[in-house]
Structure 1
Amino acid sequence: MANPPNAAPLPVSHPDSPHTWSDYYDLMAGRPPRETLLRSLSLFDAEAKEARVERFVGYAVDLGCGEGRDTVELVRRGWRVLAVDGEPEAIARLQSRPDLQAALAELRLETHVQRFEQLILPADLDLINASFCLPFCPPDQFPALWQTLTHALRPGGRMCGQLFGDRDSWAAYDHMTHLTRPQAEALLQSFTIEQFEEEAHPGTTALGEAKFWHIFHWVIRK
């Protein structure tokens, strides 16, 4: 598929993109965890405080973990984590991080290379973190992926992440999933919605290319 006229540059996931995932991982190195993850963890901690427990520590999946910016935060807080990514290089980079070696040795951190269409998750997860990865699931596979995620989450568990809106520049590419606001709200309506924020503005990608961003940031509780 050619780059449509007046569209933003191709996403890294597109086979014709001039950039590679290596370029993206290099730019993400050292960046802080996503705000939606921090919001989820603060909600768990608030519940723990009400139960007179210092901090909640659970079992999380970091879906589309990349080089590990969110995985590191979960491990730092004592969580057990399954880090999943479809790119072998992402998992290799994560496994080589000095700040994750203790967790790997203690088996508090597991890693899997799995693509969306092959995703298998353990049951009764406390948290599924899906930072900026779900839009890269092809539309025809997205309903099955969402069902896999919702079934793996325990009652009271949380899921957080981002969805891309229909006004996003990359909506021109049919291998990605983009939703209207009503579609995004309908997707989340069977959960308790603890955060739902819409962002729409011109900007740049992590690789410095011009792009119009249309994003839904959300935290939900089952």
Structure 2
Amino acid sequence: MSDLNNYQSEGNVFERDWSAYYNAVVGRPPRETLVEALAGFDSESLNQHQTPVPHSRFAVDLGCGEGRDTVELLRGGWRVLAIDGEAEAIARLLERPDINRQLLETRVALFQDVVLPESVDLVNASFSLPFCPPKFFPSLWEKIISSLRSGGRFCGQLFGNRDSWAIYTSMNHHTTQQVEILLQPFEIEMLQEEDHPGKTAIGEEKHWHIFHIVARKK
């Protein structure tokens, strides 16, 4: 299969060969946005207790994929609810040898059907939210904000309006101003913008316009 056949734009609906994507990212480290968010929690623990203390923090990994971020959270002793719309993603996650099943709950759910728990410490959404259909994105974002406790964090990515996938009406993209409005309920700890040509994980040529976000709920 050629790279160009890995997605198509019939009716401007984005269709991904998720199996090819999962295969391409096997063994990759956790996303930098997650690492940054975890460092924020660790810093707070140090400030309060001088030394890191065991915790029972709770994270939702929204659009967990094959689990590169879920595994990092579990490794740090977090309880994790891992959610993905693709059953294959959850199956691959559960097949990993490096997961702590006692701390892990999984769920297959589309973005429009997601139900999030209350008083969550962290919602991680690495490169997943742009795949929420635009008409469902506002309610999904409100669910994320509502689920987080005060002082909880969101980390993840949103795609900008200059991204080459902005042609797909099944995906959501945002301007810088729109992202800033979305983040008003938060203290922004990281907001980095990428806007350049590049390639996808499976080798497709693509113009990336991405916002990398770590934000702490007020």
- For 1:190 and 1:157, locate their aligned partners in 2 and report how far apart those are by CA, in whole Å: 11
Q: 2:26 aligns with which of 24, 29, 34?
A: 29
Q: Which residue of 2 aligns with 1:4?
A: none
Mapped to 2, the partners of 1:124 and 1:149 lie a distance apart of 11
Find 1:190's aligned residue among 160, 182, 185.
Answer: 185
Query: Equivalents in 1 of 2:13, 2:161: separation in Å?
Result: 22
Distance 1:15 1:173 in 2: 5
Stretches of structure 2 lacking an aligned partner (at least 5 in a row): none
Q: Please state whether the residue corresponding to 2:134 is helix, strand or coil.
A: coil
Conserved 8 A contact 2:121-2:153 = yes
Q: CA RMSD in A?
A: 2.0
Instruction: For 1:121-200, list aligned pairs within 5 A.
Output: 121-200=116-195
Residue equivalent to 1:94 = 93
Deviation at 1:10, TM superposition (A): 3.4
Whether the 8 Å contact between 1:62 and 1:81 is mirrored in structure 2 is yes
Uncovered stretches (5+) of structure 1, i.e. residues with no partner:
1-6
Tell me if the contact between 1:45 and 1:56 (Cα under 8 Å) persists in the aligned partners. no
- Give the letter for the 2:52 counterpart: E
TM-score (norm 2): 0.92
What does residue 77 of structure 2 align with? 78
Select the residue among 45, 52, 72 that pairs with 1:54: 52
Q: What amino acid sits opposite 1:25 in the alignment?
A: Y
User: Matched residue of 1:178: which SS?
Assistant: coil
The number of aligned residues is: 210
1:45 aligns with 2:42: yes
Q: Name the amino acid aligned to 1:20.
A: D
> 8 Å contact 1:30–1:69 — kept in the other structure?
yes
Does residue 114 of structure 2 align to residue 115 of structure 1? no
**Per the alignment, in what secondary structure is the counterpart of residue 139 of structure 2?**
helix
SS of the equivalent of 2:98 reads helix
TM (norm. structure 1) is: 0.90
Alpha-carbon distance between aligned partners in 2 of 1:46 and 1:192, rounded to the nearest angstrom: 16
| Structure 1 consecutive aligned stretches of length 4 or more whose deviation exceeds 2 Å | 9-12, 14-17
